[in-house]
Structure 1
């Protein structure tokens, strides 16, 4: 992770309203030089609005955007030293790759000689130097996305803004492009703000993840902490799948309210009223203390997701064994990881 003391971008007390609707409420974040932070949240959570405020495409209702110590309030997008890659890439279809990458430099009145040097460098960085004379229609989706990134890189932005840039790609290409973005980030020490609706994508690509809902920050942490230690019930349910069990703790033992027979040893943990257990933290074990019955199965290749009925309690369990099936009685070991929320 980037050094958090080396702040490049400061988002200070940002609020944004559209008419009577407030979409962002007092958002404050510091982003370090070389850090990749991802905004996630449901539709309407404010993640894209916040990204566009950083880039200058929306004006905030109050608060301040600061880049390298300078306030960006009132500064137009082209003068913010940020680069935006849009979801649809926004390439000019009649121009070649070279001309698309060159466009912003021409607007900035960069000399022809320097344009050539910077374009060649950017195309090398995204591995497209052999495609300079092609039109966008002659490129794959991943190649088009890399052209859009190169068009930003030639302008040498201090902050690269990515607005769901992988959503139009198939699964394998998405994974490849995630690796490419991480590579560029590490090689160039880029500061990147990434917006996605894909939680797995956010966890795999980010140094930190910002979870938004209702215009409020629900959690801002490294991916492992967001997943393993969600701050509240919303984060637990939104990022991945979770069993959230209400209960009480007595003498280091958690007892589920819905099913008194469901008890777990939680001695030494900061126990609260709601217990979070991810489906993969259960293991099917013939000697396990938890007994249940499978009511539904969904095959996922490397595991089978099972709905397991334990008295009145229904849990999601990821079984690694191939012989699990519906209406089968099983036993589960004590979960490998437990986390409590209020």
Structure 2
């Protein structure tokens, strides 16, 4: 789990669960140590409770890396001090096993760091076990009390392991969601022309896939004398004309507009016959012809020539486009600013 992933609020909540659990454990140990009259442990657990409050603040400010590092260190110190005072039989080293399972938490740039913490905690566990044979507990407690502390530590350790599993699940869900959103963004980027907002060829093919074998009308349109616009007013003006003309074409209902290349646009009328498609094209052509294109104080007159054809959509649209292209260039030769449908 990375501190920079997409949903920091979710990550923060999961870390806060661990911190609250640690805080509760130490508060209970304050009460237990006071009842047992083990003054050093009372002081230590008061310190640890304040420590976890500070860790909670660090998580609120998304300082996950620092908080996790300090928590690992605090647990190691707590287990060592408590084992020396209460003995191995109290089960304090079980917290080291629980913490070693938290390799799922990865707020570090290097993925090996959590494993390093786990190795150190395992080493400390066995060191305390070996040392338990010659270190006598500094506090003598009845067996029933030691067993109760052991059971409590077991329960708390299991809870830490369960929460670590929840963290892993949250992390996996967040990563999966991020990949899905990224795939959707890439697909959208591939489907939409970045300059004009019209469909790309890929996006058009994707939308036409369900229409294979259906009768459709297609028109190939070209902005008249567009090179002159670029040469006279510059390419920024040309981009403005392309984007504005696209918007005007997209205002036609149930019309798919694709930037076919340069200043050429392919319009697809899936639910119209030739007459209906021609009427829509006339409206589009009039909108473009009458629109007040204005750039840097200059009024630019823009027109468009279309070639229109209808037929069955087979494996691809290329055959229909080829015929529409021939008719469009016939319109260019005949004076431009017209629709050629036959």
Which TM bucket (shorter chain)?
under 0.3
| Structure with greater proportional strand content | 1
Largest Rg, 1 or 2: 2
Q: Give the number of the structure with larger relative contact order, counting CA–CA contacts within 8 Å between residues 6 or more apart.
A: 1
TM-score (norm 2): 0.21
Q: What TM-score comes out, normalization by structure 1 length?
A: 0.21
